Amino acid sequence: MKLPGTKAVVTLVKFVVSIGILVLIMRGQDLGSLKVDLLAAKLDMLALAVSLLFAQTFVLCHRWILILRAMDVSLGWFAGWRILIISTFFNQVLPAGGDAVRIWMLRRHGKQWSQTISSIVADRFLALLALVVVILAGMPFLLPRISDSSLLFAIMTVLAFACSGVITLVTLNWWPPRLIAVLPARIIQFVTLIRAPLLASEVRGMLIASAIVIHLMTVAACYVLAIGLEAPLSALDAFVLVPLVILSSAVPISIGGWGVREGAMVAALSLAGIAPDKALAISVLLGLGGLIVGLLGGLVWLLAPERANFSTDKLRATAERPDAAPI
């Protein structure tokens, strides 16, 4: 049972983390140089980066629709995209509000609680698995760049856990029944949930490909922004280093990844010789691009039929519903 005010405290902590990290980063930067970089960015490259982030919503929708189909949930493609882009808007204005909005809007389409929440949990986890695949593909180029043993240990530890999870997903059917019985029931339920879309042979290849393409589109957006800022970031550098930034900003300790993303971007791009102010400018512009896409989602929300029955109380009830646990 959650204590009253717990979500408010968590939100406040996330705000403090975001602001605190940003302040620490800014203190070590030449703000004048950062301002010059932001104002000097090429508008055509900025527009291309935002276009990539917007196009990403269509691929995100496609991945989610594939997961829903694997779970025998029918949802029209346009309705799915509308729900997804609206969720990006609420991710910007309400901490952790995007997933709750997706659940609430799916419920408005008559879907069951277990189906709605299961699809979102699977979507999140498969995105993480795809990110690990991208990072592993770049490891041969990354390892020679890392001289800090603690950083290397942290990266390898995260990848080891992720690979262990993949192995568990693939081999669970071969485990002895006695060994499976030892595991907590909730873990077995979670693994079974994630396996459902992966075992659907008719969508598996497209599902994995779309999940990887989504991350590569973020990589491409960062590369385009670097070109717009005249930062010496090669396509290979972006492919190797930006996924580490995506992984870091996915940790739910800040608001929309702000602060964590900037710190990770400065640290990661330093391995390619990118100046901190340039790296920070790339990260800030990437965040602003996400905000623009979120605002487009807000425009879609103004036209959405579900808006007439919406209230923050209903959204809060959706997020805190006791039987809404994903596993």
C-alpha 250/C-alpha 231 separation (Å) is 25
Give per-residue pLDDT as tens, 224-276: 999 999 889 999 999 999 999 998 887 777 777 777 888 889 888 988 889 88
The answer as to whether 14 is a domain residue is: no
Q: What is the pLDDT of residue 2?
A: 47
What pLDDT is attached to residue 316? Answer: 57
pLDDT(327) > 60 = no
> What is the number of structural domains in the chain?
1
Beta-strand ranges (E) seen in 212-255 are none
pTM attached to this predicted model: 0.83
For residue 309, the enclosing domain spans: 26-324
pLDDT at 322: 41
Percent of the chain with pLDDT over 70: 81
Residue 295 inside a domain? The answer is yes
- Looking at the domain assignment, is residue 11 inside a domain? no
Residue 185 covered by a domain: yes
> Is it the case that residue 216 has pLDDT exceeding 90?
yes
What the block records as the tokens of 91 is: 């991710």
pLDDT class of 51 with cuts at 50, 70, 90: very high
What's the angle, vertex CA 57, arms to CA 56 and CA 59, rounded to 5? Answer: 65
Any domain includes 199: yes
Does 1 fall in a domain? no
On whether residue 242 sits in a domain, the answer given is yes
Q: Residue 308 has what DSSP assignment?
A: G
* 15 within some domain: no
Give the pLDDT band of residue 95 (cuts 50, 70, 90): low
Residue 289 has pLDDT above 90, yes or no: yes
With 90 as the cut, is the pLDDT of residue 221 above it? yes
